[in-house]
């Protein structure tokens, strides 16, 4: 199996844990030895495993935790590290995410998640006139 497919499967596991509200499965997906961080939509960056896993336990522990479906995932592998870009569909809203992974004990474990709102009229093909704010 190619590394890209392995990474895409690890990415899918993240969204399965999210949608199942399974905080233990979520915790198991994140690296235990590498430095980790997380940027939830609109939030500041969380730094370190305790803070990141704590945020997911808080989010997934509520009955209103959203189901998050992943689509158009693309894996980019660089040696033993990889990042995925994908869309997240949450209650009719569309987000775009970066998920970073590293190989640890034979498995691809997450080291970073960054999710943010996707603007309107942003098909995943080519961009029209660039209009930028950053």
Q: Is 28 in the site for a copy of itself (CB under 8 A)?
A: no
**Strand (E) positions, 1-134?**
37-39, 46-47, 69-78, 81-90, 93-104, 107-117
Q: Please list, in sequence order, all residues whose beta carbon lies within 8 angstroms of the beta carbon of residue 37, skipping any fewer than 6 positions away.
A: 45, 46, 47, 48, 52, 111, 112
Tell me which DSSP letter residue 92 carries. Answer: T
Q: How far is the CB of 100 from a copy of itself (least distance, A)?
A: 6
Q: How far is the CB of 19 from a copy of itself (least distance, A)?
A: 12
Q: How far is the CB of 83 from a copy of itself (least distance, A)?
A: 6
| Interface with a copy of itself in residues 55-94 (CB under 8 A) | 55, 58-59, 65-66, 68, 74, 76-81, 83, 85, 88, 90, 93
Name beta bridge partners: 46. Answer: 38
Q: Which residues bind a copy of itself (CB under 8 A)?
A: 34-37, 39-48, 51, 55, 58-59, 65-66, 68, 74, 76-81, 83, 85, 88, 90, 93, 95-98, 100, 102, 111-112, 114-119, 122-127, 130, 132-134
């Amino acid at each position: 199996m190619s590394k890209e497919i392995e990474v895409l499967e690890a990415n899918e596991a993240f969204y399965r844990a999210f949608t199942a509200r399974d905080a233990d499965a979520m915790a198991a997906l994140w690296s235990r030895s590498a430095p980790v961080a997380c940027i939830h939509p609109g939030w500041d960056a969380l730094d370190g495993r305790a803070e990141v896993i704590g945020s997911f336990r808080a989010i997934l522990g509520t009955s209103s935790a959203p189901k998050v479906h992943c689509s158009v995932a693309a894996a980019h592998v660089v040696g033993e590290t990889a990042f995925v870009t994908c869309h997240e569909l949450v209650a009719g809203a569309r987000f775009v995410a970066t998920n970073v992974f590293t190989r640890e004990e034979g498995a691809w474990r997450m080291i970073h998640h960054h999710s943010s709102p996707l603007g309107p009229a942003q098909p995943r093909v080519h961009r029209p006139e660039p209009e930028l704010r950053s």
